[in-house]
Amino acid sequence: MQYMKLTNLFCNINPKETLEYLPDAVFVVKERTGKIIWINEKAMRLFELTKESLKGTQFNDIVNNGLELAEKSSKKDVPIIAGAMTESGEFFIELNATLLDDAYIITVRDVTAMTNVLVNAEKTGRLNRDKNLMLAKLSHEFKSPVQSILGFSTALTDGLGGDINSKQQKYVKIIHKNASELMYFMDKFFEFTNVEASLNESSYLTFDIVNLVQNVLKHNEGSLRNKNLTINIVDEQLKTKTIYSDENAVKTILQNIIELSINLTETGSISIELCTPELEFVEKTGVTLIKNATDESYIQISIIDNGIGLQENEIDGIFEPYTQADKVNKKNIVRSFSLGTAKELVKHLNGSIWLATEVMKGTVFNVILPVEKGAVKQDE
């Protein structure tokens, strides 16, 4: 906590009495020499000092570069984090200094616990990035054996290894099916780790969003045809079909969501609605509006299915793969990797993503993205 300038404390009152009862530890330190000329009881307890041990003690003796930091704090009128020492060991403090005549009035607070949390968070973040980078580099080593299993099992099924009986054919099909599921899981897992580690290069350009949606649907036409699902693209409320964004990122977002909608829908239809949302609504979704935003600054994409929907316990943490580890349903974990990737990409594009669902009635996935040069995050 930073205090107002303490000059007023010395007007018509006993200064030491006032400083004694401040909520933090307080030092009075000579400006030029750094000699401690007075401290309150809280400072004595915090730094394990006595009146006898104070004789000849410099502020630098108990705070690393203490006098220099006091000067910096006083001139800039800001709190400073510093390392401090006692006989029990080192700890972290926040100090605020005010120069009064030829002495600094310095308030000190122990922030060791808070600093440790920040340091641990930084270390954890760095470890996660290193972990994901390693996994990305090893993805080929993980997937190569599975690809071999898929290739040889297909060859056996096609008779390239000679005739096999019906029982052997059944076993080979089981091997191929399980290997295919494992490969799909690995694809989604490594896709997520790549995005989380920010290993994918961004490439912003102008493209037709409706054409991109059609291309993604074409990529999934086999699954759509197998389930005989009807597809509708609704874009009457879209003011412009040409947008500026990272096309590959948007494509991955759409692919992962549409793929999931197909999995959730056995019969019926899937609709992709594109519109230009009102700015007030965009802001309510958590997006920080760009300066001078217009009605064409953002786009909303809604993927609507009439499938089985999601139960309440499936929604919890659905965009956070690591929260799914204790759930026995393998589909939940794979689903969260797909949606986790979508969420990370939407976040990178400075947009928002959410869903609404009802059991046996369907699910609606919503994505809002900025579509103007000034609205996207990019390194240009």
- How large is the angle between the packed helices 330-348 and 166-196, nearest 10 degrees? 30
Which H helix or E strand runs over 357?
strand 352-358
The rounded mean pLDDT for the chain is: 84
Q: Quick one: tokens of 105?
A: 């009035």
Q: What is the pLDDT of residues 201-243, one digit of tens each?
A: 788 999 999 999 999 999 999 999 999 999 999 999 998 899 9
379, exposed or middle or buried, with CB in 10 Å at 0-12, 13-18, 19+? exposed
Largest CA distance in the chain: 106
Q: Which residues neighbour 219 within 8 Å (Cβ) at sequence distance 6 or greater?
A: 255
Q: Are the CB atoms for 296 and 276 separated by under 8 Å?
A: yes
What was the pLDDT predicted at 161?
80
Q: How far is CA 347 from the centre of its chain?
A: 8
Q: What is the pLDDT of residues 34-84, one digit of tens each?
A: 999 888 888 888 888 887 777 778 999 989 989 999 999 998 888 888 888
Q: What is the pLDDT of residues 272-300, one digit of tens each?
A: 999 999 999 999 999 988 888 888 899 99
Dump the DSSP string for 172-226.
HHHHHHHHHHHHHHHHHHHHHHHHHTT-SPP-EEEEEHHHHHHHHHHHTHHHHHH
